[in-house]
Chain A
């Protein structure tokens, strides 16, 4: 057997159900055509239970089930489902053709039977988990495999093509109305009836089309596949049928996007470096946000978690009508950490924590402090904490002396009484009392060559009665208690 066909039955309906939570539990019908010609194409089980049948007109269907939700097929949802189908098919073989909507053909050359059964079972399981049930046909030619998939429940392995085809109705050949009438008049009801006729005579009477139909019926239609290429861009887009006013429908769609895009990245041997999420809003504005991931990943959970944590803190001015998600890929990193490096147990959880805490405290109020190259006091920056911290290498510096300062931000204004230019009494919201010991003044200045020049005078003081150690600051604006030594 050389070819397998994967077919998603009721594809337009399945594609819709996959991207909208809870839709399969409602009476929903996918409609083909417009106006009076509109016909029901596929229905969900609740709609079927209510008496709606495929092929009905829309008015008749609504008469049967007034609560019926009529939907047009969604090209975006179908494109999304097709991408998922292709992705699953690439698990079986790289030679995959996207033959028709919801149907792909796989060239099985080089595959052993045992491996093939295992892989096809995995594919069916994966797609089933995403709301896309699968029918699988395996046969010697692409068309026979397609026919096998059409009648499969859920798998059909065709060992004897001639016997299998002989029992199938000629309607599977996709006959035109005139051809259908002609075949009925000739008594040709099955492909076996057609294949038993002499090919040359049949082709002589019906021309090239007749020859093609005969080859199809006899299982002699082998053709090369038009192999699909893995995507070069990792994007997903969906316009919502109903504007989303809550987080739940957005997350449902984003979970599907993340699953599919993560799979495509892995199939392409790439990993996600950053994400860009764009929400189109009902008031015709957009909300866009990019996320740089802590480390390149192909984990759908990591991608989804980043989006989920961010969206949990977002409030948009109006409902969301469309979602776009783009992933910027990169080569996966393969590097050996240092033996004594301090790596994170779960980098994604760590950066999620920082993002969530940052949304509460403010992103500029979280990070690892790094002092600026200046002598100006309290001059530092907060850097994003690294995923791995190199082991500490002690520097030959003098050991620190004295207690540690806890800074008051901003410094507390103080009234200071001086005797012989030395502080003797301080009054401030932080402390109040006689100064029994002091160190200083320590005169500091810097950047005098620039507009940001600064100069200050510091005193370390001890308040009597166990009142504690403080740093006094004498600046042009007056006296301040700058901090508490602790």
Chain B
């Protein structure tokens, strides 16, 4: 459809007056997995949603969660895990001290979960927040209106937290980046060192919004 002259003029005017879209400060929280951080341009962007879609079971999404827990612990940062389906296993690390900075919010039902997320995402004490929506019934999750996500986005813009959302399929309308994990792990993974296993992940960048300034 051809663009009307008035609309084109308006766009040109905006482009002249605001040469770039609103930019952020370009800070990232590294997940600790090089392939993931590279695909995201440095890590999880602060004040934004990064969505990681596990398109099947055992695609390595929880390996990213474990890496982020470990990386933020070593960096002296606070991490919140909003676990909608209550699937996190605290024995992920042999050393309990790696969980000491973690605050785990165990979901009950989805309505309460979103209320809790709305509270937690406003707290500037958390450097990173993981929202795990996997294993939730698709029908239930699709009932969540897009406005919920936009409200949460406003909240993290204030708190500057880097938010990682784990999903089984793309659901975050305002995600800044979206990665897809599509290759399932095999039984051979049990014989592999976990850090080496994390290095084998091959996430595909599916979405990248162009309003982030280059890192640094």
Tell me, yes or no, whether A366 is within 8 Å of chain B by CB.
yes
Contact B103 A385 (CB under 8 A): yes
**Of B77, B96, B135, B189, which is within 8 A of A485 by CB?**
B189
Contact A391 B89 (CB under 8 A): no
Contact A357 B120 (CB under 8 A): yes
**CA distance in complex: A438, B77 (Å):** 38
Please provide the chain A residues from 358 to 372 with a CB less than 8 Å away from any CB of chain B in the complex: 360-362, 365-371
Instruction: For B150, list chain A residues within 8 Å (CB).
Output: none
Tell me, yes or no, whether A342 is within 8 Å of chain B by CB.
yes
Most B CB atoms within 10 A — which of A366, A398, A438? A366
Contact A460 B190 (CB under 8 A): yes
A386 CB, nearest partner CB in chain B, Å: 7
Tell me, yes or no, whether B73 is within 8 Å of chain A by CB.
yes
Tell me, yes or no, whether A392 is within 8 Å of chain B by CB.
yes
In the complex where A353-B122, A407-B89 touch, is A466 in contact with B108 (Cβ < 8 A)?
no
4 shortest interchain CB distances as A-B pairs: A468-B57, A369-B90, A486-B62, A468-B58
Interface string of B38-82 (1 = CB under 8 A from A): 000000000000000010111111110110000001101110000
The A interface, classified by DSSP as helix, strand, loop or mixed, is mixed
Contact B89 A483 (CB under 8 A): yes
Instruction: For A485, list chain B residues within 8 Å (CB).
Output: 58, 185, 189
B45 CB, nearest partner CB in chain A, Å: 20
Closest chain A residue to B75, Cβ basis: A342
B10 CB, nearest partner CB in chain A, Å: 42
Q: Choose, from B11-19, B111-119, B139-147, the stretch at the interface.
A: B111-119
Excluding A340-B76, A349-B125, 17 further A-B contacts by CB distance (< 8 Å) are: A346-B124, A353-B120, A357-B119, A360-B115, A360-B119, A361-B105, A392-B100, A393-B97, A404-B63, A407-B87, A408-B87, A409-B87, A467-B57, A468-B56, A469-B189, A484-B135, A486-B61
Tell me, yes or no, whether B99 is within 8 Å of chain A by CB.
yes
**Of B89, B98, B115, B195, which is within 8 A of A405 by CB?**
B89
Instruction: For B187, list chain A residues within 8 Å (CB).
Output: 437-439, 460, 462, 469
**How many A-B pairs fall under 8 Å by CB?**
189
Interface residues on B, range: 35 or more
Most A CB atoms within 10 A — which of B54, B57, B195? B57
In the complex where A404-B63, A406-B62 touch, is A344 in contact with B97 (Cβ < 8 A)?
no
B47 CB, nearest partner CB in chain A, Å: 15
Tell me, yes or no, whether A356 is within 8 Å of chain B by CB.
yes
Closest chain A residue to B65, Cβ basis: A404
Tell me, yes or no, whether A397 is within 8 Å of chain B by CB.
yes
Contact B91 A371 (CB under 8 A): yes
Tell me, yes or no, whether B184 is within 8 Å of chain A by CB.
yes
Closest chain A residue to B58, Cβ basis: A468
B residues apposed to A, CB below 8 Å: 54, 56-63, 65-66, 73-74, 76-78, 86-108, 112-113, 115-116, 119-120, 122-125, 134-135, 184-187, 189-195, 197
A residues apposed to B, CB below 8 Å: 340-342, 344-346, 349-350, 353-354, 356-357, 360-362, 365-371, 377-378, 380, 382, 385-386, 389-395, 397-409, 431, 437-439, 460, 462, 466-470, 483-486
Instruction: For A340, list chain B residues within 8 Å (CB).
Output: 76
Contact B190 A402 (CB under 8 A): yes
Contact A392 B97 (CB under 8 A): yes
30 contacts between A and B (CB under 8 A): A341-B76, A342-B76, A342-B78, A349-B123, A349-B124, A360-B119, A361-B105, A377-B91, A378-B91, A382-B104, A385-B103, A392-B73, A392-B100, A397-B95, A400-B194, A401-B194, A402-B197, A403-B194, A404-B66, A405-B92, A406-B87, A406-B134, A437-B187, A467-B57, A469-B58, A469-B184, A469-B185, A470-B57, A483-B89, A486-B54
B197 CB, nearest partner CB in chain A, Å: 7
In the complex where A353-B120, A362-B108, A485-B185 touch, is A402 in contact with B97 (Cβ < 8 A)?
no
**CA distance in complex: A483, B102 (Å):** 21
Contact B116 A361 (CB under 8 A): yes
Closest chain B residue to A431, Cβ basis: B57
In the complex where A392-B74, A399-B193 touch, is A365 in contact with B63 (Cβ < 8 A)?
no
**Of B99, B135, B184, which is within 8 A of A369 by CB?**
B99
